[in-house]
Amino acid sequence: MKRILLLVLTNLAVMAVLLITTRILGVDRFLTANGLDLTALALFSLIIGFGGAFISLLLSKPMAKWTTGLVIINEPRNADEAWIVETVRRFADKAGIGMPEVGIYEGEPNAFATGAFRDHALVAVSTGLLHNMTREEVEAVIGHEVAHIANGDMVTMTLIQGVMNTFVVFLSRVIGYVVDSFLRRGDSEQSGPGIGYLVTSIVMEIVLGFLAAVIVAWFSRQREFRADAGAAALMGRKQPMINALARLGGLEPGALPQGMQALGISGSIGKLFATHPPIEERIAALQAL
C-alpha cells in the first residue's frame, strides 16, 4: 500500500511541476488566452496516465493467467510441483513477503512474477524451463522472480509508466495547442482547436511515447540487475544464478505477453527498448558482487 500511495503522490507531484513550470515560463497565460484550460488538461492527463497504469497493475494477475494458460498449483500433483511450491514458499519466507500463488504454463524456457501486492503476488514457470534446467538453476530463476516481488518491482514499474504516460498526454496536447495557435494566428473566426492541433498532438504523442518507452525500458533493465542480486542473496551464493543465466543464453527464451515482459527472465538484446540487459552484462554484474 505504501508503494501505491507513492504512485498517487508522484503523479500529483508531476502535475504540480508541470503547472508551476508553465506558469514560470509564462506559457499558461498564452495558452489560457487562446482558450486552453491547463488545470483541466492536467487533471485529464493525471486520470489517463495514472488510471490506465493502475488498472493494468490490478489486472496483471488475471491477465497473466488468461494469456499464458497458466495452471495454478493448489494441490501439487507430483513431486516436481511439490518442490516448486516449497521452493517459492522458502524464498518468500526468507524475503519477508506473503506466499505467492504458484503456477506452471506450457512454453519455451521462461518465468515471470506479477501482481499488484507484495503479499498476494504470482510466480509462474514454464514447462520449457523445468525441462531444460537443473533444479539448482530453476531454483535460482524462482529466486529471481521472488526478488522482483520483494523489491516491489510491479508497483515501481507501474509508477514509472504512469508518470511517463502523464507527461506524454499533457505535453503532446500543450505542444499541439501552441502549434495550432501559431498556424491560426490572425484568424478572427477561431472556434476551437483546428487540424494543426489534431495532427501535432498525435505526432507528438507518438514521438514522446517512444522517448517514454526508452526511459521505462532503462528502469526495467536496472531492476533486472537487482533481481539477479536478490536471487543470489536468497540462495546464499551467486553461482546458481550465473549458471542459470548462462544456460538461458544458449536457449531460446519463450515470448511473454506484453505486460509480463518487464518481469520475465528472458535474455533480450541490450537495445534502447529492451526490458532486459544482455545476458553477458548480467553475469558480469553478478560476478562483481
Residue reference for cell 526495467: 220
Euclidean distance between CA atoms 251 and 125, whole angstroms: 15
Catalytic pick from 101, 137, 139, 145? 145
Residue among 138, 112, 146 at smallest CA distance from 234: 146
- How does strand 101-105 pair with strand 122-126? parallel
Segment 20-24 long-range contacts (CB within 8 Å, at least 24 positions apart): 22/174
Euclidean distance between CA atoms 166 and 153, whole angstroms: 20
Is 205 annotated in the active site? no
Residue reference for cell 498476494: 120
Cβ 144 vs Cβ 227: under 8 Å:
yes
Active site residues: 145
